Structure 1
């Protein structure tokens, strides 16, 4: 599945067979409330959740000038099916839908392959390359444009009895300020990575 971008021009993207883009309204409202005024916020129509996915309450964490919000979660997925292949996990697939908003004046990078799922036993799990490929999820470093919103799925293969706890997000803490860029300095006080609770 390709990522979709929400920009002032609208929403673009492609749906997975039998699924629609999950509910973004609550998460966008929370993200916008942190940095705007209701009269100046976007009004995004509700989006239907993919089958069996749970909408999350919109817990947001910043890394530098980009905010990250886990907006959807599905665990115990027995198989990923794409247009060209299907794949069965070693344990269970877990899919987390992540919304990113770049509040800065510069582009920021995001690498889906660096993100980690934390399970209740404290173990960390890297994304499943197989599931990411079959589902047509983004691979390689992604560029988030200035003022852009983007959401897409991260797929993980974890033990069958594992319970998810959090998503550990590794982002781009760089600053748009010219002085910081000349020094190669990050946004003051930026933490990287950050953990976003999924429970």
Structure 2
């Protein structure tokens, strides 16, 4: 029984016990503590960043990355992060299909900044060409590429990215992606009235040029 008691006494100064750590801390350690705290503060510890650092995502072949192409509808932001035009064929695990003109693929990033879920119907999004014509997504390309089907629900604080495929004339020039989103509000008062976020614009056009 003597050995265990002696062992406990030997390790006790290192235990996290109120009053013990201060009582046994050496003068050198007391002098080091403010310096360590200052060093950690200078390194940014204790001051969380305001933005995520998202790992880079490999760019699909021939796709053009887009920057700063963001629009908001209510509590959700929509960003066109990539576009590829003149795609000659869509190839999936079970089929392939040739467009009537050219396939255009737009990668859309959604971020829900609200406290409630919000919905997006991929089939209601539109590709706007330079002549002002609006094109609905290609059902064939969306199915073959395994793109989202049906109404998509994005959770509170969720981030999601996916592709939209369009079949447009071969000589058409893309101009914008017209996003029809969900302008509903997370505020209880707005929900009781079925109201949208104040001054929410829907749909919005995101430039692709």
TM-score, normalising length from structure 1? Answer: 0.81
> Which residue does 2:103 correspond to in 1?
93
Using the TM superposition, give the Cα deviation of residue 38 of structure 1 relative to its aligned residue in structure 2, in angstroms.
8.0
Please list, as runs of the form range in 1=range in 2, the aligned pairs for 1:7-46 lying within 5 A after superposition: 39-46=49-56
1:40 shift after superposition: 2.4
- Structure 1 residue aligned with 2:74: 64
**Structure 2: stretches of 5+ with no match in the other structure:** 1-46
Residues 1:73 and 2:73 are matched in the alignment: no
Per-residue CA distance 1:145-199 (angstroms, 9 max, x = gap): 0000000000000000000000000000000000000000000000000000000
**More deviation, 88-97/54-63:** 54-63
Structure 1 moving runs of 4+ over 3 Å? none
Structure 2 counterpart of 1:103, from 88, 94, 113: 113
Whole-Å separation in 2 of the counterparts to 1:159 and 1:131: 15
Structure 2 partner of 1:192: 202
Counterpart of 1:52 in structure 2 is 62
Q: Using the alignment, how far apart are the partners of 1:89 and 1:191 within structure 2? A: 33
> How far apart are the structure 2 equivalents of 1:59 and 1:96?
12
Larger deviation, residues 77-86 vs 54-63: 54-63
Bigger helix fraction: 2
Moved more, 151-160 or 50-59: 50-59
Select the structure that is richer in strand: 1
1: distance between equivalents of 2:85 and 2:48?
A: 34
Tell me, which stretches of 5 or more residues in structure 1 are unaligned? 1-36
Q: Could you say what secondary structure the match of 1:180 adopts?
A: helix
User: Which of residues 123, 140, 145 in structure 2 aligns to 1:135?
Assistant: 145
Give 2:41's aligned residue.
none
**Aligned partners of 1:58 and 1:133: how far apart in 2?**
29
- Counterpart residue number, 2:13: none
**Structure possessing the higher relative contact order (Cα contacts under 8 Å, 6 or more residues apart):** 1
Post-superposition Cα deviations, 1:10-64, rounded to whole Å, max 9, x if no partner, equal xxxxxxxxxxxxxxxxxxxxxxxxxxx9822111111110000000113110000
RMSD (CA atoms):
1.1
Q: 1:40 to 1:128 in 2, by over 3 A?
A: same
